[in-house]
Structure 1
Amino acid sequence: MGTFDLNLARVFVLLYETGSVTATAESLHVTQPTVSYSLGKLRRHFDDELFRRTGRGLTATAEARRLYQPLRRALAEIDGAVRQADTFDPAAMSGRFTIALSDLGEATLLPRLLAAARELAPGVSFTVRPFDVEDAEGHLRNGDLDAFVATPVLISHRMVRIPLFQERYVLMVAADHPRIRGGAVTLDDLATEHHATVFGPSGHVAPRAVLAMHGLLERVAVDATRFSMLPYLLEQTDLVAIVPEYVGEVFTASHRVRLVRLPFETEPIEVALYARHESSRSPAQRWLVRFMARVLGEQVSPAQLPPGPPAR
């Protein structure tokens, strides 16, 4: 270790997590040739190629995979020891963060996030990108995103998953729906009605899966790409839609729709925040992740749905 520069460890960890010389250089605020020079020193020190270039960026060798966890843990401990001298003051400093949210997140979570930010960090601003389950990790790894919020469980050694809250599914219908009058529906009711569903890049697939489980996909009258269109559609038609409960609560406050109990229990969905490992975040990004986890993780009271007839 006497001949090993700890700055090389940071370069190594970032190269491993981003798979990109460019993203690593941007994170460290150095030039790409500097990162390439450091990679050369790492290769000589460990007598291994460490990273190979592929069509998807840099791919770690077996030796690099062996080194990653101990080096990342060591950097995390060092960063924790010196963090008091390396902080981001949100009340006094400005910054722009790029986050990704689904259309549901934009409609329900973004207002909460911005309201808290205007009070606690008036100099902070946000760029919001649409969440795409296929691309989100890559954008986070490359530095195009600072964080994203999603319901799909995404597993990757390049990022951390921070659970925010859980919610269940309910049925959303027009406030004056001609047939669904009470506070609950039966399976027979669901089989009689026509449904609106959403199928797109947000990764929110449970409502269609529930309909498929009960053989009701043929009752889908419209399959759209954005959840945010549902309240506009339902308040003007007799269609019904299965939605997350908190989302439904937000929609009932601004649209002529109401929530109804489903005739079966659904697997709770967990909304989570995704970000780089703490050792790979800048001071501003560390603040952002703590801020988003606190504001979006606050307990939300579920709607008190009126009782309905038992399922049959």
Structure 2
Amino acid sequence: MRSFDLNLARVFVLLYETGSVTATAETLHVTQPTVSYSLGKLRRHFGDELFRRTGRGLTPTAGARRLYEPLQHALAEIDGTVRQADAFDPETMSGRFTIALSDLGETSLLPRLLAKARERAPRVSFTIQPLDVADAEGRLRRGELDAFVATPVLSSHRTVRIPLFQERYVGMVSADHPRVTGDSISLEALAAEQHATVHGPSGHAAPRTVLAAHGLLDRVAVEATRFSMLPYLLEQTDLIAVIPEYVGEVFTASHRLRLVRLPFEAEPVEVALYARHEASRSPSQRWLVQFMTEVLGKRVSPAQLPPSADR
């Protein structure tokens, strides 16, 4: 320990989680040469290369993977001890957070998040960016995002996945649909209707997968990239769409639409929050993750939202 600076442990953990000298330097507010120098000291101390450069950034060696958990745990314990003196007070402090959401998230989750933020953190503001699951984790590691919400299970040792809630799927049609008149639909009737579906970078592919599993892709009349177009489309046509139930409840609260039970059990999808590891978060980011987990982890009826938040 006489030859090992505790700051080296923090450099190691951040390099492991971000896979980037640049992101580590920005998080620690030091220069990139300083991080590179610290990495050299770490390599000499442990007698291991620790990280190899690849097309995806720094990839940890087997030795680094063995070191990560105990060092990360030790830093988390230290951070927890001193956090009282380095806390973020949302009632008095300002902050701007950048979050990536799909259009479903913008429609159903963002109003809830902002309504609670106005109550608890009046000086906090948000920048919302479109979710692209292909690069969301990379942007999170580089510090371009503070958090994102997604349904695909993205496995990376550099990010943390925090489950929020599960969604089941329902059908959605116009309120005065000429043939779908009850609160459920048979498989035969579903196959006879034409469908609207969504396929895009947000990664919410389950509705289209459901149709494919029942041989109904040839019944798709329109395929778009955003779920937010569905209420306007279905109000004016006799199409049907498979959609997450909570989002459907939000849509039917403000459009002439109805939800119907599907004739089969579709695998529920889990909506999750993604963030950097706790030891890599700033005090304000720690508050944000706790706040989002608490607010978005509860199912709330659209009727319970404040009037200013459901528009």
Q: Same fold (TM over 0.5)?
A: yes
2:239 matches 1:242 = no
Counterpart contact for 2:250–2:302, Cα < 8 Å: no
Aligned to 2:31: 31
Distance 1:48 1:173 in 2: 61
TM, length-normalised to structure 2? 0.95
State the 1:94 CA deviation.
0.7
Counterpart contact for 2:91–2:123, Cα < 8 Å: yes
Please list every run of at least 4 consecutive aligned residues from structure 1 whose deviation after the TM superposition is greater than 4 angstroms.
Answer: none
Alignment of 1:275-294 (within 5 A): 275-294=275-294
Aligned to 2:268: 268
State the 1:17 CA deviation.
0.8
Distance 1:21 1:167 in 2: 38
TM, length-normalised to structure 1? 0.94
Aligned to 2:85: 85
Counterpart contact for 2:11–2:39, Cα < 8 Å: yes
Cα-to-partner distance string for 1:33-52 (whole Å, 9 max, x where unaligned) = 22112112111111222222
Residue identity matched to 2:26: E
Aligned residues: 303
Counterpart contact for 2:98–2:144, Cα < 8 Å: yes
Alignment of 1:26-65 (within 5 A): 26-65=26-65
State the 1:299 CA deviation.
2.8
Cα-to-partner distance string for 1:77-111 (whole Å, 9 max, x where unaligned) = 11112111110011111111111100100111011
Aligned to 1:106: 106
State the 1:173 CA deviation.
0.2
Cα-to-partner distance string for 1:220-247 (whole Å, 9 max, x where unaligned) = 0011111111111100111000000000
Residue identity matched to 2:283: P
Cα-to-partner distance string for 1:157-199 (whole Å, 9 max, x where unaligned) = 1111111111210000011111111111000110100000111
Counterpart contact for 2:253–2:302, Cα < 8 Å: no
**SS, match of residue 235 in structure 1:** helix
The percent identity for this pair of structures is 81
Counterpart contact for 1:158–1:277, Cα < 8 Å: yes
Distance 1:270 1:300 in 2: 16
Cα-to-partner distance string for 1:50-90 (whole Å, 9 max, x where unaligned) = 22222222122222122111111111111112111110011
**SS, match of residue 253 in structure 1:** helix
Counterpart contact for 1:245–1:302, Cα < 8 Å: no
**SS, match of residue 298 in structure 2:** coil
Residue identity matched to 1:52: R
Distance 2:301 2:253 in 1: 14
Tell me which moved more, 49-58 or 219-228: 49-58
Distance 1:177 1:84 in 2: 58
Unaligned runs of 5+ in 2: 304-311
Residue identity matched to 1:293: T
State the 1:301 CA deviation.
4.9
Aligned to 2:206: 206
Aligned to 2:227: 227
Distance 2:233 2:165 in 1: 27
Counterpart contact for 1:273–1:293, Cα < 8 Å: yes
Unaligned runs of 5+ in 1: 304-312
Alignment of 1:142-157 (within 5 A): 142-157=142-157
Q: CA RMSD in A?
A: 1.3
Counterpart contact for 1:86–1:283, Cα < 8 Å: yes
Residue identity matched to 1:22: T
Distance 2:33 2:127 in 1: 29
